Structure 1
């Protein structure tokens, strides 16, 4: 009964807010919601586990398609930070599932162009919204990378090879890599390579979403 009352109160509050600041659902385009209830439910995590070619385990919360893809693109490319909370909740579930013992989070450094265009780092934004620790600043870009979107698996690997370096000594420290979307795994593999070369231990990775084009259900 209490949950029904809370849901009704939340719906009424959202209706009132929509009158003042009308928005459309980032998942389906319906009026008056950042994410409608149906699209919000589509973002609930269904954990997907996979292994990259280097043997590293990756846990992802959702498949990067349909509602999830539209919501993530809205967050990353259209400044729709109003959808960050449900995305962050799913991301946090994947991270919690991947954590084993005492670890530090480490994210991929955002490109200069991406940060300038958005005004924020999507992964760090989601971590803050999920009330998770800040990622340790142990990685830096050693050179600029070409845009990845049009590149295939092998081309991504070549583009990323040697693109990341560590900042400091990592011996005796354990890390979980975190990223928003894993496509081919090339970015995570390069990050793992850099951390290991710096003396750190990589226990695995967690992402908000995975691309089913390269990774089917498992």
Structure 2
């Protein structure tokens, strides 16, 4: 059901709520902002040592990782993550997904925008037709109340003047949580879990996700879109874990 409440009235309600219950920083807990200036500045951007195709972090700068070097026809043109899944971004994403704080989409989307304004995005040979969030299964959506990737996509798209087409991708079956699965288990778990309509035929599409670890979810989304006729599919995630064995710089500083 769509609300008929005017935008100014909604803003007034939010202002009143903030006065009574001031927002606290998702990173450090200080009152005053959803993500304070110090924590916003402390978010670690993804290093430049990534595979030029899948965006996975590498210990040394190489054009392609070993997995992508073996791919003859990858479904994604390329994938990038805006920042590392370390403190304070890790805590902000946790609040965003699991603590009922959808309003964090606004400050978090700024990291997607910052990444999108750098290579390889600024060198795209064509215009993107739309961005599409990774969808939740209807049961998971009902439990959470919102799709965090959808909120991120909308906040991001508004800033970069892109359309959002949530109907271009659907999750056709429920899957187990990816969090504790190995790379191979993730690929098996998510394979074939998405469907796309004929409307995507001939389109250039950017898929938005919150966290990418092995790239399994973005890859499965891309396969569905390509199978439905999309010309090109790209992936952009908010965060990716640091390399195994590497240290969280904020823990080292502490």
From 112, 124, 127, the equivalent of 1:102 is 127
Say which SS state the counterpart of residue 66 (structure 1) adopts: coil
Instruction: Call closer, same or farther: CA 1:168–1:19 in 2, change over 3 Å.
Output: closer
Q: Kindly indicate whether the alpha-carbon contact (under 8 Å) linking 2:44 and 2:84 is maintained by their aligned counterparts in 1.
A: no
Instruction: Call closer, same or farther: CA 1:23–1:140 in 2, change over 3 Å.
Output: closer
From 111, 120, 134, the equivalent of 2:137 is 111
Q: Aligned partners of 2:41, 2:200: CA distance in 1, in Å? A: 40
Consecutive unaligned residues of structure 2, counting only runs of 5 or more, are 1-15, 55-67, 247-254
Instruction: Call closer, same or farther: CA 1:158–1:194 in 2, change over 3 Å.
Output: same
In the TM superposition, residue 108 of structure 1 has moved relative to its aligned partner by: 1.5
- Superposition map of 1:1-218 within 5 A: 20-43=20-43, 45=45, 49-50=50-51, 51-52=53-54, 53=68, 54=71, 55=74, 56=76, 57-97=78-118, 98=121, 100=124, 101-103=126-128, 104-130=130-156, 131=158, 132-213=162-243
Say which SS state the counterpart of residue 222 (structure 2) adopts: helix
**TM-score normalised by the chain length of structure 1:** 0.79
Instruction: Call closer, same or farther: CA 1:39–1:17 in 2, change over 3 Å.
Output: farther
- Higher share in strand: 1
CA RMSD of aligned residues (A): 2.8
Q: Aligned partners of 2:18, 2:205: CA distance in 1, in Å? A: 42
Q: Kindly indicate whether the alpha-carbon contact (under 8 Å) linking 2:27 and 2:92 is maintained by their aligned counterparts in 1.
A: yes
Q: Between Structure 1 and Structure 2, how many residues are aligned?
A: 201
Q: Aligned partners of 1:141, 1:85: CA distance in 2, in Å? A: 25
Q: Kindly indicate whether the alpha-carbon contact (under 8 Å) linking 1:59 and 1:95 is maintained by their aligned counterparts in 2.
A: no
Q: Kindly indicate whether the alpha-carbon contact (under 8 Å) linking 1:85 and 1:126 is maintained by their aligned counterparts in 2.
A: yes
In the TM superposition, residue 17 of structure 1 has moved relative to its aligned partner by: 8.3
1:6-53 deviation line (CA, Å, top 9, x unaligned): xxxxxxxxxx98663234321012344322221121247557554334
1:175-218 deviation line (CA, Å, top 9, x unaligned): 1221111111001111111111112122421111112246x8xx
1:8 maps to: none
**TM-score normalised by the chain length of structure 2:** 0.69
Consecutive unaligned residues of structure 1, counting only runs of 5 or more, are 1-15
Instruction: Call closer, same or farther: CA 1:95–1:122 in 2, change over 3 Å.
Output: farther
